[in-house]
């Protein structure tokens, strides 16, 4: 019988996101760590959520976590959610189900014209407003809900 070897922290993303501890494997990249808790040393055993990310999805996961805009993060979540296995194995281990549903709703339901307007303004609309706008039945309702 083999013992389970805990993953090790090999690199730390700068800046580290606040929240429950999250390590991306196989590179051992620490991307999220609780506030007011000292960071683990490099090479130290990791205890928390470790997510194994295949090579072809690494860019999408990095965009999901550190994307330049909320729209880019929503689109990255949509790319990861295309496969049920990736959704379960990666997305649901990184974020909660309700938050993922908000990201996916924003990626799938926003009117293309509204998306263009948001991107023209730099794309810095909070995800909460994007989600609220995504559930508007028409472009006019979406614009009003997005408060652009």
DSSP 103-146: HHHHHHHS-HHHHHHHHHTTS---HHHHHHHHT-SSHHHHHHHH
Q: What is the pLDDT of residues 95-147, one digit of tens each?
A: 999 999 999 999 999 999 999 999 898 878 898 999 999 999 999 999 898 88
Q: Which of 132, 110, 131 is nearest to 119 (CA)?
A: 110
**Per-residue pLDDT averaged across 66-92, rounded?**
93
**70 half-sphere exposure, CB direction, 13 A CA radius:** 21
């Amino acid at each position: 019988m083999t013992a389970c070897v805990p993953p090790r922290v090999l690199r730390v993303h700068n800046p580290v996101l606040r929240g429950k501890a999250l390590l991306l494997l196989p590179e051992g990249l620490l991307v999220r760590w609780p506030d007011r808790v000292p960071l683990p040393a490099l090479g130290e055993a990791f205890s928390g959520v470790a997510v194994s990310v295949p090579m072809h999805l690494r860019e999408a996961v990095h965009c999901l976590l550190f994307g330049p805009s909320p729209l880019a993060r929503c689109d990255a979540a949509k790319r990861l959610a295309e496969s049920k296995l990736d959704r379960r194995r990666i997305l649901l281990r990184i974020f909660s189900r309700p938050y993922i549903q908000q990201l996916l709703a924003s990626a799938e339901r926003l009117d293309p014209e509204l998306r263009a307007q948001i991107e023209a303004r730099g794309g810095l609309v909070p995800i909460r407003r994007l989600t609220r706008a995504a559930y508007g039945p028409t472009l006019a309702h979406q614009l009003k809900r997005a408060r652009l």
